[in-house]
Structure 1
Amino acid sequence: MEKKTYYIAVGSGEMQEPEEATGNFEFEIQATEEEVDKLQDMFEELAMNEEDTAVRATIQYREYRSDKENDAHDGNLTEIYRMLHELGTPDTRKHIEAMNVLPRHERL
C-alpha cells in the first residue's frame, strides 16, 4: 500500500492531506489509508473518553490517579502518540520524544 503525507492536530483530532492543510497542525506523518483509518478510530475513542472524563470531573471525591476513566483517556492518548511516532517524519519523532509522552525505551 502506498503511503501519503498527512498533517495531524492531536487536540482537535484532525487529519489533513497536504492540499487541505491550513497550517494548523502539530505533526507530519507518512501513512497508508488503513493506518489513517486506525488513527481516526483512535481519535474517536479519545473523544468518547473525554466525554467520560468530563462527567467524572463532577465527582469531587475521586482522585485522578485512581480513576478508570482518566486511565482510559491517558492510555488512548499514549497510543495515539505511539502511532504518530511510528509513522512520523524525523521531525515528528523528535518532537514527540521531546514531549516525554512515551515510555523511555520507546523513545530510543
Structure 2
Amino acid sequence: MSGDERKKYYVSVQAGQILRDQGAASYELEIMADYEEYNQLQVMFEELSSMDNAITGHYNYTVGTLQSESSDNRMNAGYDAILHDIYLFIHEHGTESTRKHVESMGILDPGRI
C-alpha cells in the first residue's frame, strides 16, 4: 500500500478526532485523504488543542487581575485562525456532502472555496 493512497476518514472537529472506523465514535464530517494529508490535519488539531489550553491557562491566570483586552483578542484570533484552516482543509478534502455542509456554515471566504 502506497502512502499516497486516499482513504475515507470520519472527522469530529469538536472532539479533534480523525477516525478510520465510521462506528468508532461520533463524527460530523467525511474526508478523503492520503497519509500525508491525514497527518497534516492531525497537526492542525494538535495546534488547536494547544491553543485551547493556552487560552484556558491565560484566563485562569488573569482572573482577578486587569486583563489586557488586546491580549485576549490576539489569543482568540489565533484560535479562530487555526479553526478556519481546519475547516478550509476539510472543505478541500471533503466528500460532496461535507463540502456543502461546510459552505452552509458560512465560515469560509467564498473567494477561497
Q: TM-score range by the shorter chain?
A: 0.7 to 0.9
- Aligned-pair CA distance for 1:37: 0.3
**Equivalence for 2:75:** 69
Rg comparison, structure with higher value? 2
Corresponding residue pairs, total? 106
The alignment-based identity, stated in percent, is 34
1:47 to 27, 46, 49: 49
Given that residues 85 and 92 in structure 1 are in contact (C-alpha distance below 8 angstroms), is that contact kept between their aligned partners in structure 2?
Answer: yes
Change (3 A) 1:54 1:66: closer
1:46-86 per-position Cα deviation (integer Å, ceiling 9, x unaligned) = 00000111123344644489621111110000000000000
State the partner residue of 2:108.
102
User: Secondary structure of the residue that 1:11 maps to in structure 2?
Assistant: coil
Tell me the amino acid that sits aligned with residue 99 of structure 1.
M
Residue of structure 1 equivalent to 2:33:
31
Matching residue of 2:24 = 22
Q: TM-score with structure 2 length normalisation?
A: 0.83
- Secondary structure, counterpart of 2:81 in structure 1: helix
- Hey, what's the Cα distance between the residues in 2 that align with 1:78 and 1:64? 20
1:8 and 2:11 equivalent? Answer: yes
Following TM superposition, the consecutive aligned residue runs of length 4 or more in structure 1 with deviations greater than 4 angstroms are none
Give matches, 1:84-99, under 5 Å: 84-99=90-105
Deviations 1:19-69 (A, max 9, x none): x53350000000000000010000000000001111233446444896211
2:86 maps to which residue? Answer: 80
CA contact 1:7–1:21 (8 Å) conserved in 2: no
The 10-residue stretch of structure 1 (87-96 or 48-57) with the greater mean CA deviation from structure 2? 48-57
